[in-house]
Chain A
Amino acid sequence: MSFIQINNLHVHYPVRGGFFNSVIDQVYAVDGISMEFEKGKTYGLVGESGCGKSTTGKAIIGLERITSGSIFYEGENVTNKRRSRKSAFNRDVQMIFQDSHSSLNPRKRVKDIIAEPIRNFLKLTPKEEERKISELLEIVGMPEDAKFKYPHEFSGGQKQRLGIARAIATNPKLIIADEPVSALDLSVQAQVLNFMKDIQNEFRLSYLFISHDLGVVKHMCDHISIMYKGRFVEIGTKYDIYNHPQHIYTKRLLSAIPGGSPIGREKRKRERIRVEQHYKAEHKNYFDENDRVFDLKPISKTHSVAAASISKGGK
């Protein structure tokens, strides 16, 4: 059973201009998406820059105003209640940001950074709080004396782990991870990803994993949604998306990933060109006249595609 349902979420930004700085247009950053989260699962949200994937994450946690749509958390409508300190939703949904450096206050010590969610949501005595912080630092594999240091004294990977420590401080149920490893080196990226999997197994956490890196997403996620211009073009399990991609945009994205070996370069390039031509030729079948993505239609229990006619361009 899912514990969070997101129905038909819209986030529109007004474009102002004209004589009285009136609203002359809308940017449809997120344009009607629905998701459900189950415990202990990882949901991937993939798309190119500007497709609205970060806005989706921010809208869910309450950093962006929702234009329309609703969010239900354990049966309760929390759409407009997400700013209250008392809200259980606020405690149980946390976020990890891409740029760990700018998401940590440079003038606060690590212990105050990590203590912030604890002070907001948990009623702990100073002693308990102290112990909790030590525990959290231990979970993320940082030494005890890190407590008294400032963010600039840590490397990128360490800062990302501090961000994770802060996110898991309130024992959340869902963590929204917005490009958590994009700024990290390969070996550090591996550390952070392994570590995210470990704490997931330990606490039955769910992740909304927002990324543009399809290799990382495949490694981490159970369910994947591919996003384009504020809408989902295809959703499905990892197997559905990587082994039977249906939407032309998904195929294009997959064909653009660099291969793991120098052998077959030419073949991959020909495939890329073929998919690109296909993308242009079949455009009408997948996007309407305003270049908007169609509504999702299920083609199997887990797999849905946004297309006018599904059989075409299939297997």
Chain B
Amino acid sequence: MKSNELLKIANLSTGFRIKDSFYNAVDGVSLTLKKNEVLAIVGESGCGKSTLATSIMGLYDPHNTRVKGDILFQDKNLAALSDEEMNEIRGGQISIIFQDPLSALNPLMRIGEQIEEGLLYHTKLSKAERKNRALELLEQVGIRQPERIIRQFPHQLSGGMRQRVIIAIAVSCKPKIIIADEPTTALDVTIQAQILDLLIELQAETEAGIILITHDLGVVAEMADRVAVMYAGEIIEEAEVEELFSNPKHPYTRSLFHSIPQLNSNSDRLNVIKGIVPSLVNLPRSGCRFSSRIPWISAEAHEKNPQLHEVAPGHFVRCTCYRNFNLRGKRGGRNYELYTNK
């Protein structure tokens, strides 16, 4: 690993057991996270982005999950560590922020105890020092009257406050990597803006690498340095954020951009991606996985065994179908013309 690389994921596959065979939800993903970088992972539900997060953190059920490949962090392969060894890293060196702050907090523990819990395991601070650190952290994440808040329970706080507490817990041990799994999806836009600004500020102080998992391209535009787009368990495009937004290549990425209602456009219809994401069991494991959603592209346009191609420096696209792709198919019209209003 190079010196500025924090985490190197190589050919990671995570499979779940369904009726005695394993199906990969994450299928051969390779990624590198650098210091002080925000790497966004974008995709729709079921594309494997959260599975990727839980694989890195080791938060899966070992009996029904199979993880292959390497997750290299400080010369250790996280995928091969035991639970005890993983506990050293989890919450200390790598921490995670979940989508739903209410279910991520323990309803029976006071806020203060929950923040101090991580400090208890990962630092040698005394009880009084831990309390001071908890107060300091709450202040840092913009919570007023921290002395009052540390004695309160999660249900007494608003959604935005809870998420701030979660962030305080996540940064409490000065982690090298923060994984943020849809950190603002459950929040209002004004609170979202505040939380995202807060994450960036905290990052500037600690130089941590952030893996931001989201489905919201707006959040990506505000936050990310680099973006990886996932579809059906694979990374189908990866690029610097400016490059991806100005020059998206893969049919899936381009279709996604055209299905967002834009604030500054008045077009009447949105682009619809035809079909559905195939389920884990029915997913074809060879050929271009997006091909069934763009049937108007001929089979020859796809690669037999789609690889990531570097189309510009640092910009990777899977499969060759992007070369012939246009959004023409979006004028497909409705599939219920037969109906008459009677």
Q: Tell me whether B276 is interfacial, beta carbon within 8 Å.
A: yes
- Whether A268 contacts B269 by the Cβ 8 Å rule is no
- Whether B336 contacts A194 by the Cβ 8 Å rule is no
Residues of B within 8 A of A272 (CB): 193, 197
Residues of A within 8 A of B272 (CB): 187, 190-191, 194
Q: Is the interface of B mostly helix, strand, loop or mixed?
A: loop
Tell me which of A198, A252, A261 contacts B221 (CB under 8 A): A261
Tell me which of A138, A191, A212, A261 contacts B338 (CB under 8 A): A138
Q: Tell me whether B283 is interfacial, beta carbon within 8 Å.
A: no
- Whether A215 contacts B262 by the Cβ 8 Å rule is yes
Also in contact, A193 and B270, with CB within 8 A (given A203-B341, A218-B263, A257-B189): yes
B223 CB to nearest A CB, Å = 8
Q: Nearest A residue to B159 by beta-carbon distance?
A: A49
Query: When chains A and B are docked, how far (Å) is the Cα of A256 from the Cα of B192?
Result: 8
- Whether B216 contacts A258 by the Cβ 8 Å rule is yes
Q: Give per-residue flags for B113-154: 1 if the beta carbon is below 8 A from chain A beta carbons, else 0.
A: 000000000000000000000000000000000000000000
Q: Tell me whether A116 is interfacial, beta carbon within 8 Å.
A: no
Residues of B within 8 A of A190 (CB): 259, 270-273
Residues of B within 8 A of A156 (CB): 45
Q: Tell me whether B322 is interfacial, beta carbon within 8 Å.
A: no
Q: Give per-residue flags for A258-294: 1 if the beta carbon is below 8 A from chain B beta carbons, else 0.
A: 1111110100110010000000000000000000000
- Whether A138 contacts B339 by the Cβ 8 Å rule is yes
Query: When chains A and B are docked, how far (Å) is the Cα of A134 from the Cα of B243?
Result: 47
Residues of B within 8 A of A185 (CB): 44-45, 215
Also in contact, A141 and B271, with CB within 8 A (given A186-B44, A219-B261, A257-B263): no
Tell me which of B188, B221, B222 contacts A49 (CB under 8 A): B188
Query: When chains A and B are docked, how far (Å) is the Cα of A140 from the Cα of B338?
Result: 11
Residues of B within 8 A of A216 (CB): 261
Query: When chains A and B are docked, how far (Å) is the Cα of A133 from the Cα of B156?
Result: 46
- Whether B216 contacts A140 by the Cβ 8 Å rule is no
Residues of B within 8 A of A218 (CB): 261, 263
Q: Nearest B residue to A193 by beta-carbon distance?
A: B270
Tell me which of B189, B190, B270 contacts A219 (CB under 8 A): B270
Q: Tell me whether B4 is interfacial, beta carbon within 8 Å.
A: no
Also in contact, A194 and B269, with CB within 8 A (given A215-B260, A261-B221, A262-B221): yes
Which residues between 227 and 276 of chain A lie within 8 Å of chain B, taking CB atoms?
Answer: 242, 252-253, 255-263, 265, 268-269, 272
- Whether A253 contacts B190 by the Cβ 8 Å rule is yes
Residues of B within 8 A of A141 (CB): 334-336
- Whether A256 contacts B215 by the Cβ 8 Å rule is no
Residues of B within 8 A of A135 (CB): 339
A284 CB to nearest B CB, Å = 20
Query: When chains A and B are docked, how far (Å) is the Cα of A213 from the Cα of B261?
Result: 10
Which residues between 181 and 235 of chain B lie within 8 Å of chain A, taking CB atoms?
Answer: 188-193, 196-197, 215-222, 224
- Whether B259 contacts A186 by the Cβ 8 Å rule is yes
Query: When chains A and B are docked, how far (Å) is the Cα of A252 from the Cα of B190?
Result: 7
Residues of A within 8 A of B191 (CB): 48
B316 CB to nearest A CB, Å = 18
Also in contact, A187 and B190, with CB within 8 A (given A257-B263, A263-B242): no
- Whether B269 contacts A187 by the Cβ 8 Å rule is no
B245 CB to nearest A CB, Å = 5
Tell me which of B224, B263, B273 contacts A187 (CB under 8 A): B273
Q: Nearest A residue to B270 by beta-carbon distance?
A: A190
- Whether B188 contacts A265 by the Cβ 8 Å rule is no
Also in contact, A214 and B263, with CB within 8 A (given A49-B188, A190-B271): yes
Q: Tell me whether A202 is interfacial, beta carbon within 8 Å.
A: yes
Q: Tell me whether A197 is interfacial, beta carbon within 8 Å.
A: yes
Residues of B within 8 A of A215 (CB): 218, 260-263
Max count, chain B CB within 10 A of own CB: residue among A191, A219, A253: A219
Q: Nearest B residue to A249 by beta-carbon distance?
A: B190
Residues of A within 8 A of B264 (CB): 260
- Whether A260 contacts B262 by the Cβ 8 Å rule is yes
Query: When chains A and B are docked, how far (Å) is the Cα of A268 from the Cα of B256?
Result: 23
Q: Tell me whether A189 is interfacial, beta carbon within 8 Å.
A: yes
Which residues between 175 and 218 of chain A lie within 8 Å of chain B, taking CB atoms?
Answer: 185-191, 193-195, 197-198, 202-203, 212-216, 218
Query: When chains A and B are docked, how far (Å) is the Cα of A89 from the Cα of B182?
Result: 41
Residues of A within 8 A of B218 (CB): 215, 257-260
Q: Give per-residue flags for A216-227: 1 if the beta carbon is below 8 A from chain B beta carbons, else 0.
A: 101110000000
21 pairs, CB–CB < 8 Å, chain A vs chain B: A48-B189, A155-B276, A156-B45, A186-B215, A186-B259, A187-B259, A190-B272, A197-B268, A198-B334, A202-B341, A203-B341, A213-B189, A215-B262, A216-B261, A219-B270, A253-B190, A259-B218, A260-B262, A262-B221, A262-B241, A265-B222
